[in-house]
Structure 1
Amino acid sequence: MTCHSDSILSVLSALATIRRPRLLLRTARHGTADYRRETDLKRVLRLPATPAPGAATLHRLIDLEAQHDAMRTRPLDEVGNPWRAARHVEILIALIAEASLLAEAVTPLPRD
């Protein structure tokens, strides 16, 4: 197996372990219909330019989403950045859409 496929497998493995509330995921899945990679991804990642698709971008989104989930589940009396549902959903939208792009890129085409 190549290094490239190892990184893809690690991303898919990380995605398989994510467990979130059903409403949060349903909302994000619904939002993928309006996802526009060029504008949305650089806004979500707060970058000046849209990064290349691939495992590295998905790892960044997974890490960012984990940070927001930690804010969502922390005790109410803990001080820090407030959890914002809208921000969490937009990160999940990007994560789902980028994972779909990666899956499409690595899925073999059917033989004729």
Structure 2
Amino acid sequence: MLDLLSQVATLKRPKLLVRAARFGIDDYQRDRHLRRVLKSESICHSGPALLRLMEIEREHNDLRVADDGSYLISEHVNVLVAIMGEAQLLRAMTANVTPIT
């Protein structure tokens, strides 16, 4: 899972998109946001959710870069908020795990 967090940390997007997502992170409610972004009734653990969110974000970014008319900045920001929220949860979970020695 740390590799996944590294992928999130190295994600490079325009500053305006990242700033907008940071404003939304305080209001991130996993149940509500994750269901909407993943278009799913069930909620999976942070790791698998983060993998799927990264795929969805890549699709949004491809549309943005291609200047595609179907690109919606609001949807892209929502996905980035969910990525940031899930990454926080995953970091917290991995920080609380004590290695067995």
1:10 to 3, 18, 22: 3
Specify the alignment match of 2:38 in structure 1: 45
**What is the root-mean-square deviation in Å for CA atoms of aligned residues?**
1.6
Specify the alignment match of 1:85 in structure 2: 73
C-alpha separation in 1, matches of 2:33 and 2:96: 28
C-alpha separation in 1, matches of 2:92 and 2:57: 22
Specify the alignment match of 2:65 in structure 1: 73
Gaps of 5+ in 1: 1-7
**Larger Rg belongs to:** 1
Q: Does 1:23 align with 2:11?
A: no
What is the identity percentage for the equivalent residue pairs of Structure 1 and Structure 2?
Answer: 35
How far residue 9 of structure 1 moved from its aligned partner, in angstroms, is 2.2
* Equivalenced residues, count: 97
Specify the alignment match of 2:91 in structure 1: 103
C-alpha separation in 1, matches of 2:45 and 2:4: 15
1:94 to 82, 85, 92: 82
CA deviation string 1:41-78 (max 9, x = no partner)? 0110000122222x21111111110110000001x4x6
C-alpha separation in 1, matches of 2:32 and 2:43: 8
After TM superposition, the score normalised by the length of structure 1 is 0.79
Gaps of 5+ in 2: none
Runs of 4+ in 1 over 6 A off after TM superposition: none
C-alpha separation in 2, matches of 1:52 and 1:108: 16
CA deviation string 1:74-105 (max 9, x = no partner)? 1x4x6xx6110000000000000000000011
